[in-house]
Amino acid sequence: MSFMDKIKGYFGAEGSYRGYSHAFSEGPNGGHLFHIGGIDDGFQRGLDLHHPIDGKRIPAAYASVMANARAVSQCKPHHKRMLPSGEWVNVDDSAVARIIRNPNSYETWAQYIVNAVAQLLFDGESFSLATRDDRGQVASIHRLSSRTCSPYVVEGELFYSVSTGNPFLPEDMQYMAPARDVLHLRVHTPRHNLVGESPIKAASLAAGINVSLSHSQAAFFTQMSRPSGVLSTDAVLNKEQLVSLREAWQQQSTRMNQGMIPILSGGLKFQQMSISSQDAELMDAQRFSVEEIARCFGVPLPIIGDMTNSTLNNVEQLISFWLSVSLSSLLENIEQSMGRLFSLPPNEKIDFDVTGLLRADFQTRIDGLTKAVQGGLYTVNEARAKENLHAVENGDVPYLQAQMVQLGTMPASNQPQANVDVEDEVELAFDRETFRKALRQ
């Protein structure tokens, strides 16, 4: 039995239920679609699974995926270690820090992570193979195609089948890699604990509507396009007059002469064509499908360019909402998966800095830092470091304004002075006189 046969047998025996019916396409000589029942097996008939919806070709799905991927690439990761005092400090000389700076010989970290997250959301999972040095530490990580890497469980141990798919790896590479050498990112796993599914599956109906409407509009504008307006008159025109009028109008209103003012005579009137109610309903349906797709990916509509009911006055609140509902979960998924790849101990972690996403709102950011310094939360140098400014002298001490007092108490300056003893007054006057003489000398 071949390796792929074992994989198929592991995920479901022939004739077992595989969910809803799928559309299978015939082999290379065909191309026809066959609807297979829920317990039928298309492989028995030489059929391959046909994917009618590809998120990469749907603008709303592509925008949602790339918005998440670009946002993750803006969050700089840090390897942190907790000191005995409980303080978290950055570690710059570890294998994790080296991978974050340079994951491999042909990609930067931003290039690597944006493609890994895009693959994760498009396919539901993303695979990366780690190579190790002589000390057993991770030396580089390489992205693999989802089609060339599959999980496989042997006697309770997890392995991954790794084969050719990356031009920077050996062409004849095909072996079983242990789970400790594979960074397997996955989102929702409804079918199997190790098989992730893209959110586009949940938005398949909305995506299908979006694609159908796009095809309908493309066919309409290429084959059944309507004119922008019509010329009308009560007079009866013969064929020669119609041809002459059409030619004269086109000379004044098309191509290089677009925008010139044609002169109408003989009772001619120009009537502009407006959008019909049916066209308006089609636009609303397509907009609704975009909302459904963005909702399944957890992306607010303004993030993917739909500014219908939004403004630019609440950018930070919008991004904070995005972080709280979906993006933070994605970052946490990546952090913990990378921590498992590097076998980090409990007092170490990988942390993505999300402040880079909020740097657009300058006024709100400065007001927050100012209040943090005045409230003793940040020192002056810590606040300046947030803005990439150099440290200043005496800026490492936290300050707190002193006008806040406990209820029921009175500041010392307002309290009545106690009676001073006469001997103390004499001694104080003697000291003052001695001090004045010293100054005169």
For residues 158-178, one letter each, b for 16 or more C-beta atoms within 10 angstroms of the residue's C-beta and e for the rest, the string is: ebbbbbebbeeeeeeeeeebe
Split at pLDDT 50, 70, 90, the class of 156 is confident
Q: Which of 94, 84, 271, 297 is nearest to 188 (CA)?
A: 297
Please give the Cα distance from 227 to 166 (Å, whole number).
Answer: 51
End-to-end CA distance of the chain: 110
Q: For strand 229-232 and strand 269-272, is the pairing parallel, antiparallel, or unpaired?
A: antiparallel
Under 8 Å between Cβ of 288 and 245 = no
Could you count the other beta carbons within 10 Å of the beta carbon of residue 406? Answer: 5
| Confidence at residue 264, expressed as pLDDT on a 0 to 100 scale | 65
Under 8 Å between Cβ of 353 and 360 = no
CA angle 231, 232, 236 (to 5 degrees): 125
Residue type, 152: Y
Please give the Cα distance from 72 to 114 (Å, whole number).
Answer: 7
Q: What is the pTM of this model?
A: 0.64
Residue 19 has pLDDT above 70, yes or no: no
| Confidence at residue 132, expressed as pLDDT on a 0 to 100 scale | 92
Beta bridge partners of 153: 158
Under 8 Å between Cβ of 148 and 191 = no
The tens digit of pLDDT for each residue in 119-151 reads 999 999 999 999 999 998 999 999 998 888 888
Q: Alpha-carbon dihedral of residues 215, 217, 219, 222, nearest 10 degrees?
A: -140
Under 8 Å between Cβ of 291 and 301 = yes
Q: Which residue has the higher pLDDT, 80 or 436?
A: 80
Token pair 């082999």 is found at 27
Average pLDDT over all residues of the chain: 75
| Confidence at residue 21, expressed as pLDDT on a 0 to 100 scale | 38
| pLDDT (average), residues 189-218 | 77
Residue 99 has pLDDT above 90, yes or no: yes
Residue 206 has pLDDT above 90, yes or no: no
| Confidence at residue 433, expressed as pLDDT on a 0 to 100 scale | 63
Under 8 Å between Cβ of 68 and 113 = no
3-state secondary structure the chain: CCHHHHHHHHHCCCCCCCCCCCEEECCCCCCCEEECCCCCCHHHHCCEECCCCCHHHCHHHHHHHHHHHHHHHHCEEEEEEECCCCCEEECCCCHHHHHHHCCCCCCCHHHHHHHHHHHHHHHCEEEEEEEECCCCCEEEEEEECCCCEEEEEECCEEEEEECCCCCCCCCCCCEEEEHHHEEEEECCCCCECCECCCHHHCCHHHHHHHHHHHHHHHHHHHHCCCCCEEEECCCCCCHHHHHHHHHHHHHHHCHHHCCCCCCCCCCCEEEECCCCHHHHHHHHHHHHHHHHHHHHHCCCHHHHCCCCCCCCCCHHHHHHHHHHHHHHHHHHHHHHHHHHHCCCCCCEEEEEEHHHHHCCCHHHHHHHHHHHHHCCCCCHHHHHHHCCCCCCCCCCCCCCCCCCCCCCCCCHHHCCCCCCCHHHHHHHHHHHHHHHHHHHC
Please give the Cα distance from 193 to 2 (Å, whole number).
Answer: 23
Q: Which of 19, 27, 31, 21 is nearest to 43 (CA)?
A: 27
The tens digit of pLDDT for each residue in 274-326 reads 555 555 566 666 777 888 888 888 898 888 887 776 666 666 677 888 888 88
| Confidence at residue 18, expressed as pLDDT on a 0 to 100 scale | 40
Please give the Cα distance from 253 to 260 (Å, whole number).
Answer: 6
